[in-house]
Amino acid sequence: MWYYLFKYIFMGPALRLMGRPRVEGLENIPKDGPALIASNHMAVVDSFYLPLMVPRRIFFLAKSEYFTEKGVKGRFKKWFFSTSGQIPIDRSGASAAAGALLAGKRVLEDGRLLCLYPEGTRSPDGRLYKGKTGLARMALETGTPVIPIAMVGTDKINPPGTVLPRPTRIVVRVGEPLDFSRYEGMAGNRFIERAVTDEIMYALMRLGGQQYVDVYAASLKNGGGTAKQAPAEPATESDDAA
């Protein structure tokens, strides 16, 4: 109930006024059954505008820190993120990837839509960064189609480091589902998972028109990478699951 109250009454009208959003390719999202959504991640408001423009309820995997803050503010945040479809996962330690995979599988087994941000964090400069392979593993293990979605303009309405929104035009661009059934039984193969991930990132690059950078966004933020533009080609090195 709270999910739809936020969507249509408490937050939806204000979001529509600020972003004047439109959605393209909505027919590519199935009306029922499980599906994985792979989206670029430009700003915090991605997780608001995407559910606003898609009729079906969307679930997200969110870091557990959103649910563990103490005090009145912490309790409100826990309630808000829970009612808005966020599922807490612990991103620390060796079992983080396994926990995220298990949580995601449960959502898909219930026939729902699950959205993941393969970049693992927000883009620091509006470009599209190298994807982590957790989404690919989930798709291969469940046999679920992947729907690429490009969020366009959200970095302008809510740039990193800003608090007050800046009115602009938001576009939610939905691509055709990607079928990876040809890799059935190959989950766990790091080369296959990297190839699947790069195919997803290439689809996002074409949908959103972003420049692709062949380093992880988190590494760049931590000063451990060089942001060089590169084509989205299958890589051959190993990768940590997101």
The domain spanning residue 31 has which CATH number?
A: 3.40.1130.10
Would 65 be classed as within a structural domain? yes
pLDDT tens series, the chain, 242 aa: 778 888 888 889 999 999 999 999 999 999 999 999 999 999 988 989 999 999 999 998 877 776 778 888 878 877 777 777 677 776 665 566 677 788 889 999 999 999 999 998 899 999 999 999 999 999 999 999 999 999 999 999 877 677 777 889 999 999 999 999 999 999 999 999 999 999 999 999 999 999 999 999 988 777 655 555 444 333 333 344 44
Q: What is the pTM of this model?
A: 0.83
Would 213 be classed as within a structural domain? yes
Structure tokens at 185: 């039984």
Phi and psi torsions of 109, nearest 5°: -65, -25
Per-residue pLDDT, 164: 75
Would 80 be classed as within a structural domain? yes
Would 228 be classed as within a structural domain? no
Would 140 be classed as within a structural domain? yes
